Amino acid sequence: MEIDPDLNYRQHPERYPIGHGERGVLTIEPYKSELLPLWRFKTPDIAEQSAAALLQRYADYKAHDDFVGMDMTRKFIQMGYTRSRRYARHRGGRKYDPETGEERPLAEEDPVKAASAQIFQRALQQIKHDPDYQYLKKRHQQRQQAQR
C-alpha cells in the first residue's frame, strides 16, 4: 500500500500502511504535524522530555482507540533511538560520505547521544510490549488483508 501525502489518515485509518521501521514517519498526516514538534534528542534531558511527551501522546491516541496515532508515535520514538545512535557513532550524524557515498568510519562514541538513545530505546520497548498495541496492530493488519 502506497503512502498518500495528501490523505488525512485520521479520517482514513484503513489506508495506513504499517510498513517497516520508520517508513512514512515524515509523511503521514495529521500525525506528523502533531508529533514532530515533540521529537528532540540533542541531550539526555531533552530526550527524556521528548520521550515523555511522545509517550503521553501515545496514551492519548490509545485512549481514543487510534492505532495509526499509536504506531506513528512508535515510529517517532524509534526514530529518536536510531538518530541518537547515528549521532553517537558518527560525528555530525553523517553515516555516509556526501562525496563518495561510502560509509564513514565509526568515531569514538559520544556518551551524550548514547544516553539519549537509551532513553528512546526504553520508551520503544514500552510500546512494543504493550498488549493493547500488539492487539490493535494485529487487528489493523487483518482488516487490511480482508480489504485485498
pLDDT in tens for each of the 148 residues of the chain?
688 999 999 999 999 998 778 888 999 999 999 999 999 999 999 999 999 999 999 999 999 999 999 999 999 999 999 999 998 988 777 888 888 888 888 878 889 999 999 999 999 999 999 999 999 999 999 988 887 7
Rounded CA-CA distance 71/73 in Å is 5
State the sign of the Cα–Cα–Cα–Cα dihedral 131, 65, 21, 37: negative
Instruction: Specify if 14 maps to a domain.
Output: no
Q: What is the pLDDT of residue 14?
A: 92
Instruction: Specify if 23 maps to a domain.
Output: no
Q: What is the pLDDT of residue 90?
A: 86
Torsion of CA 37, 39, 42, 45, to 10 degrees: 100
Q: What is the pLDDT of residue 62?
A: 98
Instruction: Specify if 138 maps to a domain.
Output: yes
Instruction: Specify if 144 maps to a domain.
Output: yes
Instruction: Specify if 141 maps to a domain.
Output: yes
Instruction: Specify if 33 maps to a domain.
Output: no
Name the residue among 31, 53, 33, 51 with its Cα closest to residue 42: 51
Q: What is the pLDDT of residue 123?
A: 98
Q: What is the number of domains present in the chain?
A: 1
* Residue whose grid cell is 500500500: 1
End-to-end C-alpha distance for the chain, whole angstroms: 10
Q: What is the pLDDT of residue 92?
A: 76
DSSP string for 83-139: HHHHHHHSGGG--B-TTT-PBPPPPSP-HHHHHHHHHHHHHHHHHHT-HHHHHHHHH
pTM: 0.91
Instruction: Specify if 46 maps to a domain.
Output: yes
Q: Which domain holds residue 65?
A: 39-92+109-148
The C-alpha cell of 41 is what? 534528542
Q: What is the pLDDT of residue 30?
A: 97
Instruction: Specify if 9 maps to a domain.
Output: no
- Give strand pairing partners of 92: none
Q: What is the pLDDT of residue 98?
A: 84
